[in-house]
Amino acid sequence: MSAESVERTVERLSEQGIDIVRVGYPDLIGTERGKDVLLERLPDILHGGVAFCQAVYYTSPQGDTVPVPGGLDRGLPDVSIRPDLSTLTELPWEPGVAHVLGDAYDPETGHPFLESPRGVLRAAATRLADLGLTAIAGPELEYYLLEPDPAAPTGWKRYDDALGNVYVTGRKGDRGSHVLRTLRTLRKLDIGVTMGNHEFSGGQFEINLHHSDALNAADRAFRFKNAIKELARHDGLMATFMAKPFDDEGGSGFHVHLSCVDATGRNIFAATPGADEEGAAYGLSATAMHAIGGVLAHAPALAALLNPTINSYKRFGPDTLAPWLNDWGLDNRSAMLRIPPERGPGSRLEVRLGDASANPYLGIAGLLAAVYLGIRDRIRPPAPLEGYGYDAAKAPVLPMTLPAALDAFEADAELIEVLGKEFAAAYLAYKRDEVQRFSRTVTDWEFREYAYHL
């Protein structure tokens, strides 16, 4: 961007009453890190960036600096975050504040920081571009809204909790009109919000996002999660995208609708009329079938990215509506990979593996890498699932613990080669530290189970 256009951007924002630009970026687990910058300093940081301690990428939710190689062992060097002005938007709930996403660079070399989630996604998208394809993604995210309760063990209870309010609207399951107010606010954020409703469990909601190219879709999902949490704080509530926050209710999913278009914008997952090709019987192209094959082939490794926490695996199991078998089906919501009924321009995969705690950049990047490998290697999937998909005799079981998923990820050399070895090494080190910390922690369940009787 030229100096003149940067100056004009500053001038335009000032005319709109904006005097602060919030520069934000995702760390490895999808938490937003950032800094508020005075508007007049924006030109200074556009190319030079804002300096952060590189270890911020490796900070645990409890504030521990995880000893990932390249962080503590190098003396906590800097990483530089440069604003991407194409993502600049006003924050509807913060008067006078605009928000911009940043990209991470190594300040010594000027090269992109290889562990940046946005960079990892770009790398996967580039591989598909080598095949002449652009991935289109539509994220679906569920979350719980909580209200304070001093009597609850955690200090929080489910907002407006009641049984049976499945897919309802209005105040029946949302006495404070959370969905209506959120939809209207997020429309101003311009992140492609389309609709929303109360979900299956008490206090659980889903708000849908429109589809777009993969990086833009991940940007919007990232912003959506942060916006939901921030709006809840403004109301004295807490929103959580934790995979399964309660024993007695289901988990929250992160489903991704995925297709690919060619240089002309044609959806290449759609069957060519009259063509005798693999997938024609299902209304799908051979390329779509290979994409399905790629996701299934690499699904055990993808679990490490799409189900990234210890808690994630408590969401799975028979009759949970969360897929735990490595299968696919035609308009079958019990399958891990569902093919929705639309065909032609609407042909797509719906990958239902992920939970809401996933970093959207890494989850989508993993899916793009698997689709790329499936198309490149012409991987053929097995026959589609028939009937209800929670019978372990019908398909292989996916990893059921985070350590098992990390082992599968580490063993998937092809997937790692697409996503980047430096990123994979950092991610594995970070997540294995999480597993180790959990293994040393005495849980409430253990105390209840053992303390009074043993």
| Closest to 418 in 3D by CA, of 369, 451, 454 | 369
**Considering the chain, what is the average pLDDT of its residues?**
92
CA distance 93 to 146: 20
**Per-residue model confidence (pLDDT) at position 3:** 47
Residue 188 structure tokens: 């101003």
| Closest to 302 in 3D by CA, of 409, 434, 426, 429 | 409
**Per-residue model confidence (pLDDT) at position 231:** 95
Q: What is the mean pLDDT of residues 230-249?
A: 94
Share of the chain above pLDDT 90, in %: 75
**Per-residue model confidence (pLDDT) at position 75:** 73
**Per-residue model confidence (pLDDT) at position 181:** 93
Q: Give the residue, 62 or 425, on which the prediction is more confident.
A: 425
Q: Whole-prediction pTM value?
A: 0.94
Q: What is the mean pLDDT of residues 416-429?
A: 96
**Per-residue model confidence (pLDDT) at position 321:** 78
Question: Secondary structure of the chain in the HEC alphabet?
Answer: CCHHHHHHHHHHHHHCCCCEEEEEEECCCCCEEEEEEEHHHHHHHHHHCEEEEHHHHHECCCCCECCCCCCHHHCCCEEEEEECHHHCEECCCCCCEEEEEEEEECCCCCCECCCCHHHHHHHHHHHHHHCCCEEEEEEEEEEEEEEECCCCCCCEEECCCCCCCCCCCHHHCCCCCHHHHHHHHHHHHCCCEEEEEECCCCCEEEEEECCEEHHHHHHHHHHHHHHHHHHHHHCCCEEECCCCCCCCCCCCEEEEEEEEECCCCCECCECCCCCCCCCHHHCECHHHHHHHHHHHHHHHHHHHHHCCCCHHHHCCCCCCCCCCECCEEECCCCCCEEECCCCHHHCCEEECCCECCCCHHHHHHHHHHHHHHHHHHCCCCCCCCCCCCCCCCCCCECCCCHHHHHHHHHHCHHHHHHHCHHHHHHHHHHHHHHHHHHHCCCCHHHHHHHCCCC
Share of the chain above pLDDT 70, in %: 99
- 12 exposed, middle or buried (CB, 10 Å; 0-12, 13-18, 19+)? exposed
Measured CA distances, 357 to 59, 309, 318 (Å):
16, 8, 21
Q: What is the mean pLDDT of residues 142-148?
A: 95
Among 29-33, 60-64, 192-196, 348-352, the range scoring the smallest mean pLDDT is: 60-64
Q: What is the mean pLDDT of residues 331-348?
A: 94
Which of 5-19, 160-174, 363-377 is the most confident on average?
Answer: 363-377
pLDDT(230) > 50: yes
Among 262-276, 317-331, 344-358, 416-430, the range scoring the smallest mean pLDDT is: 317-331
pLDDT(54) > 80: yes
Which pLDDT tens digit goes with each residue over 287-304? 999 999 999 999 999 999
The contacts found for 286-292 with CB under 8 angstroms, 24 or more apart, are 287/260, 287/375, 288/347, 288/349, 289/380, 289/381, 290/374, 290/375, 290/377, 290/378, 290/379, 290/380, 291/258, 291/260, 291/349, 291/371, 291/374, 291/375, 292/328, 292/337, 292/339, 292/349, 292/374, 292/381
- Residue owning tokens 């809401």: 356
pLDDT(279) > 50: yes
